[in-house]
Structures are given as structure tokens and as C-alpha cells.
Structure 1
Amino acid sequence: MRSIRAAAIGAVTLSLALGASACGGGSPTGGGSDDSPESLTYWASNQGAGVEVDKKVLQPELDKFEKQTGIKVKLEVVPWPDLLNRILTAATSGQGPDVLNIGNTWSASLQATGALLPWDAANFAKIGGKDRFVAAALGSTGVPGKDPAAVPLYSLAYALYYNKQIFADAGIAGPPATWDELVADGKKIQAKGKQVLGAEGANVSENIHHVFVFAKQHGADFFTAEGKPDFANPVAVAAVEQYVDLMAKDKVIPPGNAEYAQNQSVSDFAKGRTAMLLWQTASANLKSQGMNEDAYGVAPVPVRSGTPGGGTQVDSMVAGINLAVFKDTHNLDGATQFVKFMTGDEEQKILNKAYSSIPPVKSAQSDPAFTTRDNAVLKNTLVTSAAPLPQVAAESQFETTVGTAVKELFADAAAGRAVTADAVKAKLLKAQQQMPAK
């Protein structure tokens, strides 16, 4: 087994203790377990409607890589609720893959463990150079000023997806640009017997992505300029309260969504049960569930006032998937070849088309597939009105603690318990107390 230096343990212990759905140790068939130059183990994140969808997308490409290089890639698609804890466990135990996907928001936290290969100039040169990648995507690969902990693989942004027929039946001409408009439209939609907005209240990652955007729209930050947690400041409290109030007060998110964990809100939207969905690059997911792209429209996520997407108001986090290599892999050459393959122009076009994401490799963006209606909205959002989550070492713990606090607040709202500013503050203070001491 590969050994990860002990310094990693302190950085990740808290996240392991707090993870809502930890999976125990990493894969016992990790890349370091066979010491074979003819094989690699790859943990891919669940990008499609389900794990089997991802296998169907990825396996032909892995077979192509094997044909080109003679290196067999052993694939495991890891669901999002499990992925972070699987990675953290692998970082401390040495039982993990050679190559893995990470959410780009985790880059700084995983970089702090020392377990991932730094992408210095020499390593970037092996895959064609750093300047092949879009600057915004590189901005979420680790702490500024340090060699990145990963390279960009897929770029994503949030958008508002809306059912055209439900809107027409309710007499609504177009998508809402502000939250007040969304709530007002919701009343018209409910009058026609339909649910309004899907959410995943038990999905910790989704929770943190949305409350981060609400916080930016309120002008709040969850960390001070020095990188210290400041979760319960009045403006952040107001932002979290506004998001949870979409269920608790405004009644546009169904109470049952408090228990939704992964992809259930997408399924509801695809089946016409809800009129709207806030999601990262949902088109491929919706198509896989039988929804025709003509049945829905795509618009920027609403803001508090004004028009979203104009460069002055944040309506998405800079979302995306990065590709990382465990530093102590016993097949570094093969792992580097695999990263080069996955970030090559041909594969970038194939994979990002399959997932309706945006290639972070500049030269791959010229393909007409990335100028479609949906991708035009997403690319504009990434360029004009998206912000990266905090690139601090404690970011993954922030996601876990605050995301869990929001999960508990949604549970309170669904049960009819009051979600007041004091209740929100208490949850955020508890989350802050669970963060590691600096």
C-alpha cells in the first residue's frame, strides 16, 4: 500500500468525524495495491442520472485509453454523498485510487493533506501546459500562489430550469429574474395544482452551493479576510434564512424535499411534478430521464433584485470537477498519461458533450456542441456572474458543517418548526464551533 505522510491526518480528522455518510476505508484495490504499470484505479464522480449511466459514458473511453497505452483502468463511480469521505479516508489510510475526481471546491482542503500530486510547471508540461486551461477553472484548483492540487476536467454552473408547459398553463410569460418574482410565480403555479421548485434539503453539497450564492447576493462571506470562519455574522444568517424560507415561509419548495439526497429533485422536474429546478448543468441528466429539451427553458439563477448574469451579482458558484493524482501512486507515469488523455481535446469534447458540461480546455470549446442554448447560459454565467467557493484549507469542513446545518434547518421547516433568525444563527454557531482550530 502507498503511505501518505502523517501530517495529513490532522487536516482531515474533523471532516471524517462529521461526514453524514462515511463509507469507511478507501478501496482495497487502490492503484498502489498491485504495483502494476499495466493498470490504474480511477474513482470517478457521479455526473449522470446514476452510477450506471456514468459507467456507460466512461467505459468506452477507458477502453480506448487501454488500446492506446496498454494500461487497463479499473473504474469505480462514487456517489457524491460518499465521495469526500472516501477521498479523506484514502488520504489517511493509503487505500485509495491512483487517479480520482474531486469537486473543485475541495481542492484547497485536499491540497492541505499533502496527499495529492502538485501540478507544478514540469507536471503541467507533461499534459500540454497550464495555458491550455481556462483561467476561471484554474482558479478552483487550490490555494492561490501554490502549485494546483488537480487539473480541471469539467466546468459547470448553476442555472434555473423551468417547465414551459407548466408556465404557460399558469399564464407566466417567462422565467423569474428575482426571488420575489419566483415566489409570486409560485403562487400561480400552485393554483394550477403543481409544485413549484425542487431542492435537495438532505444533500449537504447542494445546500452549501446554494447558501454560498445567497450569501454573495447579500454581500456576506463565511470567512474573514484572514481565512477564519465567520459563519454566524448577521448578513450570512439573513442569507441562509432566505434560502430555507423558500420552504419554511414562501412554501415554494415542497416539505418532502427536506429528505431528498441526490438527483430526486431532477427526477421530479423531468417527470413534470415541479415547475422549476436549480441545478448544475442538468441537460444530460434530464435527457437520460426522458425529458425532451424542448419541454424546458434555461435561465440564469434569480438574484435579489435587478437582472442576473450582468457581472455585478453572483448567481452561481464556479462549479466543476477536477482530476487529481495521489502523490504516492506506484504508477505515476501511467497516471500522468491518463490525465493527459482525459484532458486532451478529443476526450474533452466527448466527455463534456456527454455530461452537457463546458470544457475547461480552451481549444475544446470551439466545438459547436458548446454553443447550444443551454451551454450559452452556463458559459455566460461562468464568465460574468459566478464566484469560487472559499479557497481555504478548511473548505471541506465548511461544506460539511454548514451544509449539515442547512439540512437540519430544512428538516425543522418540513416538520413545521419555526425557522427564525435566532434558530439559523444557533445552527451556524454550532457549525463554526465544529471547525478545526487554526
Structure 2
Amino acid sequence: MRIPVARKARLVVAAVATALSLTSLTACGGSSGSGDSDSLEMWTFKQSHVSALRTAAEEFEKETGISVSVEAYTPDDAYTTKVQSAAKTGDLPDVLEVHSDGEDRVLGAAGIVSDLKDDFSGDWSGRMQQAVKESGLVTELRYQNSVNKEAKDHGIEKGARYSVPLSVGTFGIVYANKKMLADAGITKAPANWGEFLAALKATKAKDSKNGGLSLGLKVQATGLTWVLQPLAYAQLGREAYENLWAKDTSGDFASPNGVKVLSMYDELTPYWMPGSQTLTIDQADQAFAQGKSAFAVGGTFTLAFLKQNGMSPDDVLAFGLPAPADGAVPDRALGPLALTGLSVTSTSDQPENAKKWMEFLSQQDVATQFAKDSLDLPATELGAESAKILGPTLSAMVDSFKGTPETTYDPTRNDAYQPIGYEQDDAGAILADLTPLKQTSVEETGQKLRSLNQSYWKAAGQ
């Protein structure tokens, strides 16, 4: 299941919280392997990664003589249970794929995975995209947030690194059904917000039942984080965008800037797939794959799920959520986030071989092939020639990352300007009443968001 980034981290941490009680158990557990120094074991929760990892493992064995067996345990809660049980019995594998910047630190605090700070350097670190190089690292801010004994990652060490990035992605990627677009006379991706609305209008006119837009709005933060926020950033620019959450109400959601952004978001109201507010993210993506909508909003990671549900990537046109042509940032990019990472378990009897495997996966040619095989984007910086291998759909998603610090919408900055304790789902619920439910006006929605933000500022004593 794919969920908004902040909510994803919160749920993952909650799911693995009981791992904290395993610290003493892992210390007395035995090694996971048979003692054969030429064989490694790796677990993942991403079924879509298995084939790609096994292909890479074949090349790794040819190069090093070290074999790697890769097994998947899904869904996420089953994977968590598997890791917990193995930690108790000392049967952990050598390498774990983990949710970045949440699960890795919880497992690190529990002593289940090792500190990689002395290993992730030089060429290995240098291959990574700049935006995700700190993923897995316990920065000063992450350490301070862990000091509270109630924190799920309480016990992590400042400066430690409990994972290295494997896959990256972003939200706000729009997928379009090429055939439905062609039937409506559309042959290319919309260049701006106005063209996107025109494309929605055209597909809806051609097929009133299935020509609209799907998004899993039952997960209430999706409309906020995947559409409104990147749209608002493009319209307002960074400073005015961040002022939407400021304690000073002069630029918040009830201000002229806020009303402008909410009005633009409300322009989607005629085009939502019927029942969007009742759909989970997976259900919305499945509906798109089944031809029940012409467009879907998701993330870079959605493409693999669409293929799993019978839709060929060749039948999909993908592009970053279009920016308004007259906005402050008409060329807005979408900042990549680390989605999954790799960790070495503390019970591995061959940690050096495990690190060799992890570094091998970061090599540009290996990472490019991984992207092609998994339909997921690697953390490695891919060269210009990679587009020939990735194909147009994946390449278009890579292109959505290309921007300057000033033109890139980076959702990881939320903590810097939103009040402590801010909950995206609460704001998302207010937005749902505006669209698709049409129960409140733009102005009423702005006032409700203002009241919500002010309540957080008051509660935080800021």
C-alpha cells in the first residue's frame, strides 16, 4: 500500500515499535546464515523488487563468487512480524530492505541492524542523488526528536547510519491512459495546470463515465499532499507557500493567497471519479488500471503497481503535476524522497560481504537495470544515457526531479514551517468537504484551515 510520506513514516514506526523490546534478544541470537562465507540472505517487503534484485544477484555472483538469495514477505505487517520473530530466534538474514527514515532507526535503536556510518563514503556515497544522501543518517534533528523516552527510536546514536538508500520517489505524479487521451484528441502531456484541466474536460466529454480523475481520497491526506501542496508551491513560490501554515494569518489559507490556491484545487471538482472519497490508494490505482478513469494521481512507485494489475507501462503517459503557467514557479520540480533503504543485521556473520552487495546495487549500470526491471527509481544518480534503457515513462518521472533548490517542491521541509503536532489527515478531511463532496465553499474551507492551524500553534505553545 502506498500512503502519504508523513503518514507512512508514522504508521511504519508504530508497526515496528515492539522491536524495541528485542534489543537484548538480538544480542544473544545466533547468526542467520549457515556460516558459508559465499552465501548471503536478503529479505524485502517489496514484491516488485524481488525479480530485479535476483537479476542483480546473478551478476553479483559472477563478479564476486558470492551468492545472494532474496525473499519477499508481504504485506508490510507480515514483514514486520517476520523480522520480529527472527530477531527473537537469531534467524535474521544478512540484509534487510527497510522503510527509509523511520523503520531503519527503530531497528537501529533495538540493536537489530548495524551502524554503517564508517562504510557509506567515497564512491558509494558519491553515487547517490544529493537529495537523499542523508537518508538513514541520525542527524542532529533526528537525534533530538529521539531523546524523549516515548519516541519509537529512543536509543539511536547521534551520527549513526542505520540504512543506505536503495529506492527513491516522489508524490504528485499524474498517470494518463494513452488510449483514452488519444480518443479525446490529446497526444502529449499537459504543459501547465490550464492544459491539464482542459485535458480532463476533454476526456470527460468523450467518456462521461470513465473520463475523469482517480485518487484514493479515503486516505485523507492524499489530496493535500499529492495535489494541493505541489500546486500551491508552484503558484505562490516557497516563502508565500510556507506562509499558508504560519502563525501570522496574513498569508494563511484564509488569506487571498490561500483562497487563490483553494480555488484552483476546487477546479478539479467536476472531474473526480465517482466515489473517490471512499477509495483507498490501491483501489484508486486499480480503478485506473481497469479503465475506470482517464487520469490518476500517485507517485513514482505507482507504475509497478499498475503493471501488477494488468496495465502495460507502454499504455501510460506519466508526468509531474502541472504547474500554473502564470504562477511564481511555472517550472516547479518535485523533490525526490528516499522510500526504501538497505540495512545490515547485527547478527550477520558476514557483514563485509553484505556491504559489498549493498554497494554493488548502487553502481550506475546495476541501478539502471534495477529501475528497468522493477519499474521503481533507484537512489543512485543515473546518467544521461540511462534514458535509453528506462524508456519514456520512467524517464519522464526522473525528469520531474530536475530543478534548482528554488524551483523544487520538497515535502521533507514540512517540519520547518508547520506547527508542531500538525496532522495532515485533519487538513485533508477539511479539503474533502470542499472537493469532491462540495459541502463547503472555498472561503469556508480557508477559515476552517486557519482555525486548525491556529489550534496547533496554540497547543504547541509557539
Asked if residue 325 in structure 1 is aligned to residue 314 in structure 2, the reply is no
The match for 2:324 is: 304
Q: 2:169 aligns with which of 124, 133, 156?
A: 156
Residue among 121, 129, 138 paired with 2:124: 129
Please report how far the alpha carbon of residue 241 of structure 1 lies from its aligned counterpart in structure 2 after TM superposition.
8.7
Q: Distance in 1 between matches of 2:451 and 2:422?
A: 16
Q: Can you list the C-alpha shifts for 1:30-54, whole angstroms capped at 9, x where unaligned?
A: 99384315188866454xxxx4x45
Deviations 1:381-419 (A, max 9, x none): 212254433358799998982145315632674554316
Q: Tell me the distance in 1 between the aligned counterparts of 2:299 and 2:374.
A: 10
The 1:109–1:181 alpha-carbon spacing in structure 2 relative to 1, beyond 3 Å, is: farther
| Matching residue's letter, 1:151 | V
Q: What percentage of aligned pairs have identical amino acids?
A: 16
Unmatched segments (≥5 aa) in structure 1: 1-13
The 5-angstrom pairing of residues 37-436 of structure 1 reads 37-38=32-33, 44=44, 46=46, 51=47, 53-58=48-53, 68-69=65-66, 75-79=72-76, 99-103=96-100, 119-120=116-117, 122-125=118-121, 128-138=123-133, 150-157=163-170, 158-172=172-186, 174-192=188-206, 193=208, 194-203=210-219, 206-207=222-223, 208-217=225-234, 218-220=236-238, 230=246, 235=251, 237=253, 242=261, 246=265, 250-254=269-273, 256-281=275-300, 282-306=302-326, 313-325=331-343, 332-333=351-352, 335-345=354-364, 347-362=366-381, 366-367=385-386, 369-370=388-389, 372-384=391-403, 386-390=408-412, 401-407=423-429, 409-410=431-432, 413-418=435-440, 420-429=445-454
Aligned equivalents of 1:166 and 1:392: distance in 2? 36
C-alpha distance in 2, partners of 1:45/1:408?
A: 33
What TM-score results when the alignment is normalised by the length of structure 2?
A: 0.65
CA distance in 2, matches of 1:110, 1:20: 9
Q: Is contact 1:117-1:327 (8 Å) kept?
A: yes
Q: CA deviation at 1:306?
A: 4.8
Give the secondary structure class of the aligned counterpart of 1:129.
Answer: helix
What displacement does 1:277 show?
Answer: 2.1
Which of the pair has more CA radius of gyration? 2
Q: CA deviation at 1:267?
A: 1.9
Distance 2:248 2:346 in 1: 39
Hey, what's the Cα distance between the residues in 2 that align with 1:425 and 1:240?
Answer: 11
- For normalisation by structure 1, the TM-score amounts to 0.68
Q: CA RMSD in A?
A: 5.3
Structure 2: which amino acid aligns with 1:201?
L
| Corresponding letter in the other structure for 2:305 | N
8 A contact 1:177–1:301 mirrored in 2: no
Deviates most, 358-367 or 264-273 = 358-367
Which runs of 5 or more residues in structure 2 are unaligned?
1-5, 35-39, 141-158
Q: Structure 1 residues 390, 112: CA separation in 2 closer, same or farther (over 3 Å shift)? A: farther
